[in-house]
Structure 1
Amino acid sequence: MQIRDASAGDWPLIYPFFAQVVADGRTYAYPDGLSLDEARGWWMEFPPGRTVVAVDGDDILGSAKMGPNRPGRGSHVATGSFMVDPRHRGRGVGRALGLHVVDWCRDAGYRGIQFNAVVESNTAAVALWRSLGFSTIGTVPAAFDHPDHGYVGLHVMWLDLTA
């Protein structure tokens, strides 16, 4: 597996699993039914942000985006989002993307990484981020409408990059 910058030509290959994950309704609060062109702006970052893909040969296994969490005086804290193609789950793609994002953010001089909205019932993601050193610094109760569990919390997760 290799992780590289996503190109404009990668977007049509990312979009099918982006649309599938969003339609599943269990991990992201993106609007439903986004077209290829509408969804691009939700995922493909511009500098100072960055979007990457995890690839195995010509297959895109997953993608991540990263960059400043807030503009201006909040730009020293990064954020990130991750999607693994459901066909490739269980292969360590999420962990590889997570490690890549942490390393990139550290190398880029960010002081920390804040994930604003990790669905608390997404136990695999919560466990992955905790294993990479993130802590849950708060939970917004009932902030996500899950199709199976109803209203569940959204964790705010934090990793200090200054330590």
Structure 2
Amino acid sequence: MDIQIRPANTDDANAIRDIFREVIQDGTSYVFAADTPDKAIHTYWFAPETKTFVAEDRGWVLGMYKLMPAFPGHGSHLATASFMVAPGQQRRGIGTRLAEHCLIEAKKAGFRAMLFPYIISTNEGSVSLWRKIGFTTIGTVPGGFNHSELGFVDTYIMFRTLEDIPD
């Protein structure tokens, strides 16, 4: 496996859409409905204020993340991000590589910290990854996500400063 992480471009749009659809289809890890229109998916990943990156191996996109300000104006020093790894590629370290890359890119872009306002508590892989790379849970929204199998489950608000990330 020779994974490279690079900025996404419009040639990646179909692969990004396909991974997005695979990830959201079961309704267990993202808020999006399975019938989210292609245009909405494209806008989500390629909005003007976002920087989108893909992890690829020999030309195959395996996962992606987008980095953006969490808020405008006086809150724009906080970054947020969204990550997806193709289901068949999970548990191979790709999410960790994307997350570590994101921290570096966020610091380079001038962000002071990262805020994830909506991490689904039952998404154990995601929660474990964020904790492993220094995020702490600063809040819980009881019943914040309507899980397709479990009903209403909590969501977490997670936070991490970027002070320890090298310039």
Fold similarity call, TM over 0.5: yes
Range with greater deviation from structure 2 (32-41 or 118-127):
32-41
Q: Please state whether the residue corresponding to 1:24 is helix, strand or coil.
A: coil
Q: Decide which of 31, 35, 41 is 1:33's aligned counterpart.
A: 35
Who is 1:12 aligned against?
Answer: 14
Structure 1, unmatched stretches of 5+, are none
Separation in structure 2 between the aligned mates of residue 2 and residue 118 of structure 1, nearest angstrom: 26
Separation in structure 2 between the aligned mates of residue 143 and residue 18 of structure 1, nearest angstrom: 21
Task: After the TM superposition, list the runs of 4 or more consecutive aligned residues in structure 1 that deviate by more than 6 angstroms.
Answer: none
Q: TM-score, normalised by structure 1?
A: 0.95
Who is 1:80 aligned against?
Answer: 81
Following superposition, the deviation at residue 44 of structure 1 comes to: 2.0
Residue correspondence of structure 1 range 1-163 to structure 2 within 5 A:
1-47=3-49, 49-162=50-163
Q: Please state whether the residue corresponding to 1:11 is helix, strand or coil.
A: helix
Following superposition, the deviation at residue 103 of structure 1 comes to: 0.7
Following superposition, the deviation at residue 106 of structure 1 comes to: 1.3
User: How much identity, in percent, do the aligned residues show?
Assistant: 37
User: Does the 8 Å contact 1:139/1:153 carry over to 2?
Assistant: yes
Q: TM-score, normalised by structure 2?
A: 0.93
User: Does the 8 Å contact 1:136/1:156 carry over to 2?
Assistant: yes
1:43-70: CA deviation from partner (whole Å, max 9, x where unpaired): 22324x2000000011100000011001
Aligned length in residues: 162
Separation in structure 2 between the aligned mates of residue 74 and residue 23 of structure 1, nearest angstrom: 33
Query: RMSD in angstroms over aligned alpha carbons?
Result: 1.1
Separation in structure 1 between the aligned mates of residue 97 and residue 118 of structure 2, nearest angstrom: 20
